[in-house]
């Protein structure tokens, strides 16, 4: 693939432009904010989202979707989950049927409860259906795993998962993007990979709350372990595989996000545990805290699948019903006793 369009220039999209530029001829980076695009063009640094890292010469920032997408072999989506559908719709005049679409966004759409690749597939597929028939399906893949943007941009050793129901497509992307410090594993379980990447953000908020309340390492370990159980139940109920959740896109990403100091979801939980309000936390950053939005969608999806997710449900109560952290903790600890 000679030309790649990366749609979204937050910290993650910018870091991916740096990592993928090593094996790609041309990267076009679509930037929503004109001031950030100007900074990227002039200084080659994304100061608000990824300060301290220069983007390579073969990365071309633009605020025009048409410029980014036209002629691209691969369109990589790295916009916040709740904006993905709107951006995909804006892309429609410029996309081609043969392009590959790769989701690097971790989340669940609140209204539809669709995974990110499903949102992309629905919008792009509907666009071509009238001309190509209902049998047409876009070529889709998803990228997930334990990644902090700064470490990926720095070139620190990182292992991720590329998921696609097309084994040949997964293998092609694996070969294209792997470097000595950026290792890709393939997986055909898109459900497990995407739900693992989404729900781990909810559990990371809970781990952060434990940290903020000073509850100690035992409590955090319990949240991680029981959180993994919740993630696995949901993924399997939706058609995913349990072994996927035991891998990089499940346990690996969960451990990183629950314990790493650079985790925005964990940090939000820490502040909630210390008594700050959700409004104060959201007002103090321009970066997306995906777990806040994913919590509501996950609770609804779990109810639809008729499964229990007590940690996720209590995070919903805290985030959306203003339940105090101490009350949430008591609810979790006083649940009826049962086998593991």
Distances (CA, A) of 102 to 169, 213, 318: 11, 38, 33
Distances (CA, A) of 144 to 192, 236, 307: 10, 18, 24
Distances (CA, A) of 257 to 20, 145, 173, 288: 23, 10, 25, 14
| Tokens describing residue 160 | 């991720």
From 175, 200, 326, 338, active-site residue = 200
What sections of the chain are H helices per DSSP?
11-20, 34-42, 65-69, 84-91, 116-132, 149-154, 167-177, 190-212, 217-237, 242-245, 253-259, 264-273, 278-283, 290-305, 310-320, 325-333
Query: Is 338 among the residues known to form the active site?
Result: no
Distances (CA, A) of 26 to 61, 67, 173, 275, 327: 11, 12, 16, 47, 52
Strand order in the sheet with 182-187: 59-62, 26-30, 3-7, 74-77, 100-103, 139-144, 158-163, 182-187
C-alpha of 332 from chain center: 27
Q: How far apart are CA 107 and CA 241, in angstroms?
A: 18
Q: Are 101 and 75 a contacting pair, CB within 8 Å? A: yes
Q: Is the dihedral of CA 304, 310, 313, 315 positive or negative?
A: negative
Neighbours of 102 (CB within 10 A): 25
Q: Is 183 strand, coil or helix?
A: strand
Q: Enumerate the active-site residues.
A: 200
């Amino acid at each position: 693939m000679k030309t790649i369009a990366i749609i979204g220039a937050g910290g993650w999209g910018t870091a991916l432009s740096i990592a993928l530029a090593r094996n790609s001829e041309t990267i076009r980076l679509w930037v929503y904010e004109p001031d950030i695009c100007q900074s990227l063009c002039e200084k080659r640094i994304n100061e608000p989202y990824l300060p301290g890292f220069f983007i390579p010469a073969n990365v071309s920032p633009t605020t025009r979707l048409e410029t980014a997408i036209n002629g691209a072999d691969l369109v990589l989506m790295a916009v916040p989950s709740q904006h993905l559908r709107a951006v995909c719709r804006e892309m429609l005049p410029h996309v081609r049927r043969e392009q590959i679409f790769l989701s690097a966004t971790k989340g669940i759409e609140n209204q539809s409860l669709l995974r990110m690749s499903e949102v992309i597939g629905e919008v792009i597929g509907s666009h071509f259906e009238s001309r190509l028939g209902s049998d047409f399906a876009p070529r889709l893949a998803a990228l997930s795993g334990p990644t902090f943007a700064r470490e990926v941009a720095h070139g620190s050793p990182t292992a991720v998962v590329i998921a696609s129901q097309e084994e040949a497509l997964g293998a092609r992307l694996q070969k294209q993007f792997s470097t000595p410090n950026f290792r890709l594993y393939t997986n055909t379980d898109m459900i497990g990979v995407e739900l693992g990447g989404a729900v781990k953000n909810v559990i990371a908020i809970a781990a952060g709350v434990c940290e903020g309340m000073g509850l100690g390492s035992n409590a955090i370990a319990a949240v991680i372990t029981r959180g993994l159980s919740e993630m696995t139940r949901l993924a399997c109920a939706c058609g995913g595989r349990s072994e996927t959740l035991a891998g990089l896109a499940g346990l690996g990403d969960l451990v990183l996000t629950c314990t790493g100091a650079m985790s925005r979801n964990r940090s939000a939980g820490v502040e909630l545990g210390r008594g700050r309000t959700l409004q104060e936390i959201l007002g103090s950053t321009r970066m997306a805290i995906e777990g806040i939005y994913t919590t509501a969608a996950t609770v609804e999806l779990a109810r639809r699948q008729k499964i229990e997710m007590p940690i996720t449900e209590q995070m919903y109560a805290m985030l959306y019903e203003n339940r105090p952290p101490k009350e949430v903790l008591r609810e979790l600890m006083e649940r009826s006793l049962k086998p593991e």
